[in-house]
Amino acid sequence: MPSVRRYLAVADQAPGESAFSITFPALPGLTSVALCDADIESQARDALATMAEAFLEDGQGLPPSIEGDALPTFDRIGPHDTRGFLVAVETENRG
């Protein structure tokens, strides 16, 4: 039976850069890049879905999901344009 899990994504744009780097604090090593503001959420969703599928195919469990709508605190980097948002992924209820 499918379940929905939600994770914090952090998009960061360094001064003078056009692209945003996207990371997931609960999933070290999961990163993506969005070339413009409009692509941030879709790039984050695609990256999370790909990793979740790979984890579950390998028999690995996913970290605990964020419950509720409250955005967890996260580090903001100096003068960067840093923003956090929740990303949902639907998975088979295996981990």
Going by the DSSP 8-state scheme, the letter that residue 57 receives in this structure is H
Report pLDDT for 95. Answer: 45
Q: Which range has the worst mean pLDDT, 1-5, 19-23, 47-51?
A: 1-5
pLDDT at 72: 83
Note the pLDDT tens digit of each residue in 49-58.
Answer: 999 999 889 9
- 53: nearest Cα among 94, 8, 11: 94
CATH class of the structural domain 2-92: alpha beta
Where are the alpha helices (H) located in 29-81, listed in sequence order?
A: 40-57
pTM (2 decimals)? Answer: 0.86
Sheet bearing 2-13, strands edge to edge? 31-34, 20-23, 2-13, 81-92
Residue 11, strand partner residues: 22, 83
Q: Which two tokens stand for residue 12?
A: 């960061």
User: What is the rounded average pLDDT for all residues in the chain?
Assistant: 89
**Segment 5-34 mean pLDDT:** 95
| Residue 1, pLDDT score | 67
The letter for the amino acid at 62 is L
Q: Give yes or no for residue 18 having a pLDDT over 80.
A: yes
- List the beta strands (DSSP E) in the chain: 2-13, 20-23, 31-34, 81-92
pLDDT band at residue 27, thresholds of 50, 70 and 90? very high
